Copies of this chain bind each other. A is one copy, B any other.
Amino acid sequence: MHLGQVIGTVVAERKYPGLEGIKLLLVQPLDHQRKPTGEAIVAADTVRAGPNDLVYLTGSREAAQALDNDFVPVDAAIIGIVDLVGVER
């Protein structure tokens, strides 16, 4: 899984039928020091994340698992809101 920060939302009226009711957020991937890394992605939200929340995401086939209907064609999902990242020194 990867860390990320919610930076926006994506609105799409015309879409694949199975996607109704799934909230899509724009997420900036972060490294473990919370620095941006790579391009923002569009992820389905399963934990009611809000703007600027630090979250972790799952990808690939696992993203659809996180939704009630795992037949949806979703390849990225927010599955937790991070309280603390503890790093060894």
Contact = CB atoms under 8 A, between A and B. Distances in A.
Interface of A: 1-3, 6-16, 18-19, 24, 26, 31-32, 37, 39-43, 46-47, 51-52, 56, 58-66, 71-77, 79-88
A15 B64 contact: no
* Chain copies in the assembled complex: 5
Given A1-B24, A2-B39, A3-B10, 6 more contacts: A9-B85, A9-B86, A10-B84, A12-B56, A15-B47, A18-B66
B80 A71 contact: no
Contacts of A75: 1, 58-60, 62
A11 to B, nearest CB: 4
